[in-house]
Amino acid sequence: MIKKELQTPFSTPYNTAPFSKIDDLDYLPTIKEAIILAKKEIDNIINNPEVPNFKNTIEALDFLGEQLDRISSIFFNLNSAETNETIQKIAQEVSPLLSEFSNDITLNEDLFKRVKLVYDTKGDLDLTPEQKTLLDKKYKGFSRNGANLPLAKKEKLREIDKKLSQLKLKFGENVLAETNKFEMLVTNETDLSGLPDGTKEAARQLAESKQKEGWLFTLDYPSYIPFVTYADNRELRKKITLAAGSKGFKGDKLDNQNIVLQIAKLRYERANLLGYKTHAHFVLEERMAQSPEKVQEFLNELLDKAKPAAQREFNNLETFAQELDGIKKLEKWDGSYYAEKLKQKLFNLDDEKLKPYFKLENVIQGAFTVASKLFDLKFEEINNIDKYHEDVLTYKVTDTQDNFVSILYADFFPRAGKRNGAWMTVYKPQYIKNNANSRPHISIVCNFTKPTKTKPSLLTFNEVTTLFHEFGHALHGMLANTTYPSLSGTSVFWDFVELPSQIMENWCYEKETLELFATHYETGEVIPMDLVHKIKESATFHEGMQTLRQLSFGLLDMSWHGLDPTGITDVKAHEAKTFENTKLYPDVAENCMSTAFSHIFQGGYASGYYSYKWAEVLDADAFEYFKEAGIFNKTVAKKFAAHILSLGGTEAPMTLYKRFRGQEPKPEALLRRSGLINNS
């Protein structure tokens, strides 16, 4: 029996997650019980004496297992943002159970018969576009996951899925453990030369918190990024860069090489079992790009445009480092350091000069103001709902008529139980059931510098764009307005999901936006216009190198998933071969990207990393539309909300995009913005 406090809907304000009522040890029995309940719901659908129809089969399937979805989403979100050994151990047990349950649905012959009966008569049904999409999605959910396989192959599929779920978890645990394990204690103050005061203070505070004398640096981004960007001590930059680049690649108990090979090969075997050439062929059938060949063509086309610029930028940077410090060969631990120095020289623009204007609280308010001006939203901080950590901020989101829109959780600072990076996630999706619009609970998670004794949390400009990026994803979730949970919010094709997030970054470069929130944390002075001009001017600084870097990750992803990986025995050698065409810096023998490439080996980006660049084409084209009308133009914003943000995955992405834009996206907008072609 599920604990009364954990039964959905929860008896909490807005039906929010009752974090304080859940003990870690509650998760396993609750999930097991919720699986039993969901299986009964499946039996009810199968044993329904009525002729299968859209409502009693397809719709019933989509609303299946609400209890299971709620508790497992809370659990896995905590496993990313506030994990511990107990949660990690439970995750290893829970993941195969959920994988097995998922297969219990897609491999259930009686259930598939009912779905197929409805699907085969779809021409006679009077369905809305959303219902047509749901029917298609449910049918493909079965056919693409083994419903048509003979029994022996179905059992093999179950075995593969179970193994994959465990391997992905183990991969992520190893990366987190590696991140937490590394500490670089600096005891000589001269070794801190070049570092900003705020970075030094944070390092001193971290050392004190661990009862150590000196300054402590880690692989958490707020510690790592400033160190490799500003520290004059080249040997220490090398030490921390090697540590960051060798996660999961040391041949010890946290090594991920064998896990990478197993995941790639199991995904390939799974795809073959289902009748697909590779994992990428399987995945991309349900993407805007449609095929690995199209992705490869897309990446190579951008590579042709970006590589000459990247090589030029790299040569200039190497010359600059040689003239400045006599560096004969630019290494990976020199890149950020000399790029920052060159940027300061060219634009007289230093992140440290900008940071006082980007106090975290002001940037949050800035994102809220932009959302208010565009989409008529109001954000009110509330303290009557549970939090999973004291650092988490909680907001009630309403529209201008005070209608409840969403709950928003915001979690901004690094800690031991939280993985690196930034992401948006959902604790409860939006849907309409029994004529009631059940609103979503959305969360954004980042890793910014914590306030110190003397300074608030001050963001780099890159962190400002990161916050706006995740907030864009959040808007996609918060403004969802669909009937079915599986089509709601960010439940869209993976190469479309980054459009709402990436478009929001554009506002960070606009004078009209910056004047709303970029004020000096001590004086209240609005950011000077010459700094705004420099931000704009420097936006394309090293764009060729940045593009090449992104393309290299996309190509690496496709090399693992778009080809037969069974012959790969050496992860590093495979990676080196893949990077041949995008390599600028000399290779570092101790480093390997794949063994910590969480996006594709733990997260959902396998065969999908290209989508960041794909979505950049969309967001550059879409933002040009805003700029033509005015960046806060209500008419364009309403169209964006109506056709992109609110409709989730209810129709084909290109259909929605063309309805918003009036035409298909053109890559020229991105190339212009990137400075890779003339702005004429």
Q: Which residues are catalytic?
A: 470
Cα maximum dimension of the chain: 82
What's the token pair of residue 276?
Answer: 């697909």
Cis peptide before 451 (omega within 30 of 0): no
Beta carbons within 8 Å of 39's beta carbon, 6+ residues apart:
101, 104
Q: Of 216, 186, 517, whose CA–CA distance to 369 is shortest?
A: 517
Provide DSSP, 179-235. HHH--EEE--GGGGTT--HHHHHHHHHHHHHTT-SSEEE-SSHHHHHHHHHH---HH
Q: Rounded to the nearest 10 degrees, how much is the dihedral formed by the CA atoms of 170, 171, 174, 178?
A: -170
Estimate the crossing angle of helix 571-578 against helix 543-561, to 10 degrees.
130
Cβ atoms of residues 156 and 274 within 8 Å: no
What's the token pair of residue 548?
Answer: 């090449």
Collapsing DSSP to helix, strand or coil, 96 comes out as helix
Estimate the crossing angle of helix 257-273 against helix 543-561, to 10 degrees.
60
Q: Of 239, 243, 268, whose CA–CA distance to 178 is shortest?
A: 243
How far apart are the C-alpha atoms of 66 and 319, rounded to whole Å?
60
b/e sequence 336-375, b meaning 16+ C-beta within 10 Å: bbbbbbbbeeeeebebbebbbbbbbebbbebbbebbebbb
- Encoded amino acid at 258, one letter: N
Beta carbons within 8 Å of 334's beta carbon, 6+ residues apart:
234, 237, 321, 327
Cβ atoms of residues 364 and 474 within 8 Å: no
Radius of gyration for the chain, computed over Cα atoms and rounded to the nearest angstrom: 25
Collapsing DSSP to helix, strand or coil, 399 comes out as strand
Cis peptide before 9 (omega within 30 of 0): yes
Q: How far is CA 482 from the centre of its chain?
A: 22
What's the token pair of residue 299?
Answer: 């990446």
